[in-house]
A and B are shown apart, each in its own frame.
Chain A
């Protein structure tokens, strides 16, 4: 069953909190990972790996660089779920 954007967002918030120590309530759709949340490229890889475990959606390295904001990841996960 497909998740709602809100469910993906809250799952992503938990991941970001766990990987980078950024409180989940700061993980809002318009935030940029690098500029607003101070998350570097290696932490993005950890987030992608954790997202795969949580959502069952693989985010390869070449896609990862295009995912700049929290909303980008939410969109990616939702669309990947639909096509799966």
Chain B
């Protein structure tokens, strides 16, 4: 048996993000549930979130973000041979989202699959894409995180409806040339099914339930070692990180983890303030917005950390395209 010829490393060629047009402010939520702008800002750090239109689907948002990343990469659709969509809010169990997204983007007959690692999904998908390119299984991969959480939220439950939101973010992954350093570091990932009951959707008729305190405790104690390990495995000193892009779960979790990592130079993503928690979309959305605003420069090392239901988590260092 022969094996495919691999490559020395993979890198991200481009990012793209998409957010639905509708902005829902805290004051708007306070009209229907017992909450306030002050309470939401102090507990979760969200000022407003984006919510998809009723007819706007996860696939629509994935196509929008994927199309932007593809255009920014300079590749033609024909050059993509694998599409991975990380989502925990797919429209249906079958067909998967990835194949439909590929067809709508004009990508002919790629490998296509969905991946569910909840809010850690993008980092899992990025690792799968990187390994696929390194092994020579794929040449160019379109990785998308897309979610319509608004469909799975009980809009009368003030503990969850203030947090979750909709959106999509995407990255194009490809090989490095021979003399280039790799642009995607080794992933450090893991899970703990013993905590499955802390964030869940019980069945198709149910909504998201979250034990806020338990999740907060886990996130602020278990994850900074994972993040530091990802730096160590990539050979990058946290002190040299240009940015830290954790999943945008809760501003206080973000700040607590950032403090514990010890990366004084790193700009910390706080996209949650204006976008809410968009699960697997939050990391690529935050990073593409920071790149667009010129807050991180090309070639600089950035740490990604996804974490959420499962519980599951994944972290890796990447180089900004």
Contacts and interface: CB of A to CB of B under 8 A. Distances in A.
A61 B42 contact: no
Interface centre among B213, B221, B256 (most CB of A within 10 A): B213
A46 B214 contact: no
Contacts of B256: 46
Interface stretch (A1-9, A26-34, A37-45, A76-84): A37-45
A61 B43 contact: no
Nearest to B252: A42
A49 interface: yes
Interface in B99-148: none
A45 B43 contact: no
A45 B217 contact: yes
A45 B42 contact: no
Secondary structure of the A side of the interface? helix
Interface residues on A, range: under 10
A49 to B, nearest CB: 6
Nearest to B256: A46
Nearest to B253: A42
A40 B220 contact: no
A40 B38 CA distance: 13
A40 B217 contact: no
Most chain B CB inside 10 Å of its own CB: which residue of A40, A41, A42: A42
Contacts of B221: 49
Contact of B220 (A41, A45, A61, A64): A45
Contacts of A64: 213
B122 to A, nearest CB: 25
Interface in A7-55: 40-42, 45-46, 48-49
**Listed residue (B216, B220, B221, B256) with the most chain A CB atoms within 10 angstroms of its CB:** B216
B42 A40 contact: yes
Given A40-B42, A49-B217, 10 more contacts: A41-B212, A41-B213, A42-B212, A42-B252, A45-B213, A45-B217, A46-B220, A46-B256, A48-B217, A64-B213
Contacts of B213: 41-42, 45, 61, 64
Interface string B214-236: 10110011000000000000000
Interface in B10-50: 42-43
B277 to A, nearest CB: 15
Contact of A49 (B42, B214, B220, B252): B220
Contact of B43 (A40, A46, A48, A49): A40
B252 A61 contact: no
Contacts of B43: 40, 42
B211 to A, nearest CB: 8
Contacts of A40: 42-43
B194 to A, nearest CB: 15
A52 B221 CA distance: 11
Interface string B200-218: 0000000000001110110
